[in-house]
Amino acid sequence: MAVNRNGFLTGKVGGMVTYPLNGVLVTRAIGVNTNPPTLKQLSVRQRTALVNDFLKQVSEFTSVGFELNAKKAKKRAYALAFGYNWGFGVKGTYPDIQIDFENFRLSEGQLPLVNDFEVVVEEKGLRYNWNADTTPDGAHWSDQVMMLAYFPALKKAFYCTAGANRINGTDLLPIRYENNELVAETYLAFISNDRKRISNSIYTGQLIW
């Protein structure tokens, strides 16, 4: 799309692009790069594809998880989630770059988490337990737990963004899928009852469902 700036069009029109270069407007044809991609380019492409693909599977969770910071930054929640995890949520080198589930972040904020936690398999889902005996400074007993379990083999996530209160110390994440020895990557976070504060997510381990 071209933009009129002081009587001159800059931007893309058809197969041509106009842009300022050293104080002069330059127009050139948009060509196709026929050079083979470099190793760095291939690495960036794989990294980008992996992060985008995973975020698509958990987008409803991260929309809540990054919403508050996105409003402050006047950006989209997806953009913040992508930016952080492109840098810190993958591991390895091309062509073996992988999602680093342990360091992948699904929510971002200043609300305190909990000191002790565990996730165990039950008949109808995953049971999240945490220490409710003390409330960290800056937290509140009414904060709600957020839970997510991601199944890489299915490319499917089960989640809850408004679960039990912090004071309860436990909640069940229902898994509506038949047990089949599937790997689940699990996460936990908290959000305030008024939805104005949220914690960073924390990786709660890998389980077999």
Span 119-160, pLDDT tens digits: 999 999 999 999 999 889 999 999 999 999 999 999 999 999
| Residue 197 confidence (pLDDT) | 98
Angle between helices 39-57 and 77-88 (to 10 degrees): 130
pTM: 0.82
176 and 154 Cβ atoms separated by less than 8 Å = no
Average per-residue pLDDT in the chain? 90
d(CA 183, CA 98): 16
Q: Who wins on pLDDT, 150 or 30?
A: 150
The full set of domains in the chain, from first to last, is: 1-31 (no CATH), 39-208 (2.60.40.10)
Both tokens assigned to 79 = 């953009």
Cβ neighbours of 67 (radius 10 Å) = 19
Both tokens assigned to 33 = 């790069």
17 and 28 Cβ atoms separated by less than 8 Å = yes
Three-class secondary structure of residue 122 per DSSP:
strand
Reported as a pLDDT band with limits 50, 70 and 90, residue 179 is confident
- Section 49-77 average pLDDT: 97
